[in-house]
Amino acid sequence: MIGIAPGVFVRRHDELDLTLGLVVGDGESLLVDSGMDVALAREVRPSRIVLTHNHFDHVLATEAFLPCEVWAHEDCVVDAGLLEDRAKYYDDPFTGTLVAPTHTFRDTVTLDVGGRRVDLHHFGPAHTSHDVVVHVPDCGVVFAGDLVEQGAPAQAGPDATPSNWRHVLDRLLELDPRVVVPGHGDPVDAQFVREMAIPEAR
């Protein structure tokens, strides 16, 4: 884990250049995306996981971190379709259990993580119909999921809404972040988000 602010960490993975996050409070912690690395569960035992969206590379290791709350937007569906998507990248079968969210929200919810405020926002469809932005206001860190990517262009799959993507990023920037953590790549600043190219509709 790499510290990017007091009590806020990122875990970088070579696999798909994935970036996970961890927010630590007093006796509790929140993991941003479970990713695919079940070995991480031997190091981190979060009290909550927030899924920024339901793509397989962000959710498949959830089972390894249980028992804990699993938060996501109300439209986030974790089902066998994710395994079909995974099979396009990997030949080996997935041997774990898919874990659905235990707690959902529609627009905004505030969590208390060991006395530390963490806000979850849904600003509308963009990368998916159910993107979640995780804001840690006491240190100005925002976890953006795949709304932002560093080192490669942001990707628009078949469930994306490119026409609304810039609006969602503008709402994210209204949080006045000092650090923005992308779903893939290294942390960036607000200027990077302002200048990033928006994927085109397919």
- How far is residue 44's CA from residue 31's CA, in Å, rounded to a whole number? 8
- How far is residue 199's CA from residue 127's CA, in Å, rounded to a whole number? 9
Question: 164-183 burial string, b = 16+ CB within 10 Å, else e?
Answer: ebeebbeebeebebebbbbb
Instruction: List, for residues 162-194, the tens digit of each pLDDT value.
Output: 999 999 999 999 999 999 999 999 999 999 999
Reduce the DSSP state of residue 55 to 3 states and report it.
Answer: coil
Ordered structural domains, the chain, with CATH: 2-195 (3.60.15.10)
The list of the chain residues with pLDDT below 70 reads 201-202
The whole model's pTM is what?
Answer: 0.96
Instruction: List, for residues 62-78, the tens digit of each pLDDT value.
Output: 999 999 999 999 999 99
Task: Return the ∠ at Cα 49 (arms to 47 and 51), rounded to 5°.
Answer: 170
